[in-house]
Amino acid sequence: MVVLGIDPGITHLGLGVVEVEPKGTLKARLLHGEVVRTSHKEPAQERVGRIHARVKEALARFHPEALAVEEQYFYRQNELAYKVGWALGAVLVAAFEAGVPVYAYGPMQVKQALAGHGHAGKEEVALMVRGILGLKEAPKPSHLADALAIALTHAFYARLGAGKPL
């Protein structure tokens, strides 16, 4: 199963693609990773248009059967929530056009799925992502690591028939 994971953001959007073995303990292969960067100096439609184009390209190249995003929680940051929403809007347009279903998981669910308990730290999750993908080093930058963690979390849920559609 190929899963495209997205860590949504307007200045930095993490995008990772993994191929997960269908059975046994969770084992996966890293197919692709990138971070889409945009600047507040660019017109909004160029920022969001580029995010859309890059996600579309990854969908066309890897044909994932699912796209998974991290659920966002914002506290007193409406402006940020709004602009991260723009980025996710572009992701959703690309998924819709490609006919790929979208799933979402919260931070607690990522920690639960990958580290086995909901209060794991960032490092513990990164270590598990590295182990599952068989990488020599933890994936960097953090936006890419988060995107891969989300992709693997979906794989975990999907294998249990418990994917969470957005």
Which residues bind to Mg ion, rule: CB under 5 A? 7, 143, 146
- Rounded to an integer, what distance in angstroms lies between the CA atom of residue 117 and that of residue 136? 24
Q: Is 82 in the site for a second copy (CB under 8 A)?
A: yes
Site for a second copy in 83-122 (CB under 8 A): 83-93, 95-97, 100-102
**Buried/exposed 131-155: b ≥16 CB within 10 Å, e otherwise:** ebbeeeebbeeebbbbbbbbbbbbb
Residue 143 marked as a ligand binder: yes
Task: Specify the residue, 52 or 111, whose C-beta has the smaller distance to a second copy.
Answer: 52
Indicate the residue among 7 and 19 with the shorter CB distance to Mg ion.
Answer: 7
46 known ligand binder: no
Query: Can you say which residues are annotated as belonging to the binding site for Mg(2+)?
Result: 7, 70, 143
Q: Where in the sequence numbering do the catalytic residues fall?
A: 7, 70, 143
